[in-house]
Structure 1
């Protein structure tokens, strides 16, 4: 299904606008034995709270094009995250300093009673950077305060980052194919003895980009961005029954198959496609289990 609608306006671009097994016979292993953790399959979701969800929405900029349609993305994703029992905090059009300060402040909070963390950023972007209202910052600034020992209360918990922004200036023209057959119609971890062990600093981090590295990312000024709208739809329909990576594969499928650019006055930009990119360092399976409802908190710069 291709979402092409004259009345909805032309699509726009978010441009400028992230060990090997121990060998008991090795010298290192014999001198520095590694404590092996109990290999639970599921992330612990028995905490009191689901966790904090930060939503950074950038529509207006000091020197770049306005991102029409991002307010719909913001409202839709906040509604979905609220329904999944997150403590949703919304930030509109922050400058670079306030974005970085906010991330630092939240990393210093106590997340001991939370299952996870979510950060959603919607803005202009280029390869390796995202834009705030006044200036750009490196994309890894989003998670550097939450990985490793930077945020002890989130160690061993999933930290999820969703980034709606361009990552370059290439267009995805898509490829045509003929399906071989018609397309179809439309835990709890047990408490065990505490064992001190080591995990990689970047473990339990997941970053999902709206597009592959080097490519443009698309947004419709009335319908919202392809990626965020696909994410909202997938979470709304399946968020409480499917595991996280299955959900995100569904987001990629929706973005890839249900959307195509509509820019009839510019052949170079018309009928383009887009595929999200998932970078996962998760070590377990995660489900959005039922929680007590949280409250939406709006922060104004």
Structure 2
């Protein structure tokens, strides 16, 4: 069996040019010709991942005749995925376990039938540049997925390697402004801290973060100031600008955690948010649309907590922050369809 391959490119000086990763039967291994290891061990660690449950053919065929109810999925690959993972290797604050997230997301979206591009340790400038290039290269894809995994801080600033900063709203603006993505469903995930507070099971104390669903709407309003918040019924339809409607339509935006709070990551298993996405989408995408899947991710995260007596993380929990503008249309990923026969 011939391996498929991906390229991991690095903006960090530890990388000597692009690293090609070959994929054999679900295992990701380092190409022997590469001069640098991806995770310092010579290969990208990969757990065994359960195969994605495939959709039923009748459901896939049915959606084609219902364009008002479903986003049409007809191409193969069905979409493109950009994964940016800043590990900060050699910079003193390495994101241990993030390689598990890369591996998990690669396996998930590859099995879903997507084309995947992976970038690691990009500077803030190069992150913006790469997102722009990606947004302009969608071609015939039906769905666009962007996954940003990095350190972050208040005001939704994403750290690049060498500690530069890029605003999440800049990434959002690039994606929503791209002519090639107009009318296409766009999924944007941010795995990063949004502050230093810890969400806990206790409701008292300055370190507690409450769930605030208005923050994402405020972010969207910063990008597109004319129009109502997503989910708001306070503004009448005739108050919406055409620019706002066009740009915010067909969009799902999700952060791993609430504003001003930390996002949690297991150094051996990967981040809670990304691993919950992998788990839920693997088992449930065959029967449920993306909005329902993200509700399940939220529920899965709420079941997790840290047991670490005597530390700031004792009984820490994490609630994601998400919003969508799919309206009445449903986005089904239909794993296993359309069929593709590769030589």
TM-score (normalised: structure 2):
0.63
Query: Which consecutive unaligned segments of at least 5 residues does structure 2 have?
Result: 1-65, 204-241
Whether 2:186 is the aligned partner of 1:159: answer: yes
CA distance in 1, matches of 2:262, 2:110: 29
In the TM superposition, residue 203 of structure 1 has moved relative to its aligned partner by 1.2
Of 185, 194, 200, 1:173 maps to: 200
In the TM superposition, residue 293 of structure 1 has moved relative to its aligned partner by 5.5
Of 88, 94, 115, 1:87 maps to: 115
- The runs of at least 4 consecutive aligned structure 1 residues that moved more than 6 Å come to none
CA distance in 1, matches of 2:267, 2:88: 13
In the TM superposition, residue 136 of structure 1 has moved relative to its aligned partner by 1.3
Kindly provide the CA deviation profile for residues 161-192 of structure 1, in whole angstroms up to 9, marking residues without a partner as x: 1111111122211259xxxxxxxxxxxxxxxx
Of 53, 60, 63, 2:88 maps to: 60
CA distance in 2, matches of 1:61, 1:143: 26
Is residue 81–residue 88 contact of structure 1 (8 Å, CA) maintained in 2?
yes
Query: Which consecutive unaligned segments of at least 5 residues does structure 1 have?
Result: 1-37, 177-196, 296-301
In the TM superposition, residue 155 of structure 1 has moved relative to its aligned partner by 0.9
Distance 1:212 1:164, change over 3 A: same
Partner of 1:231: 277
In the TM superposition, residue 63 of structure 1 has moved relative to its aligned partner by 4.6
Distance 1:78 1:120, change over 3 A: same
CA distance in 2, matches of 1:105, 1:144: 14
The structure that is helix-richer by fraction is: 2
Is residue 76–residue 114 contact of structure 2 (8 Å, CA) maintained in 1?
no
Partner of 2:170: 141
Of 234, 239, 250, 1:204 maps to: 250
Is residue 276–residue 301 contact of structure 2 (8 Å, CA) maintained in 1?
yes
- What is the root-mean-square deviation of aligned Cα atoms in Å? 2.3
Kindly provide the CA deviation profile for residues 77-116 of structure 1, in whole angstroms up to 9, marking residues without a partner as x: 11101011110111111111221111111122243x2111
Partner of 2:314: 270
Equivalent residue of 1:80, what SS?
helix
Distance 1:136 1:273, change over 3 A: same
Is residue 83–residue 293 contact of structure 1 (8 Å, CA) maintained in 2?
no
Equivalent residue of 2:174, what SS?
coil
Instruction: Say which structure, 1 or 2, has more relative contact order (CA 8 Å, 6+ apart).
Output: 1
Is residue 172–residue 272 contact of structure 1 (8 Å, CA) maintained in 2?
yes
Partner of 2:31: none
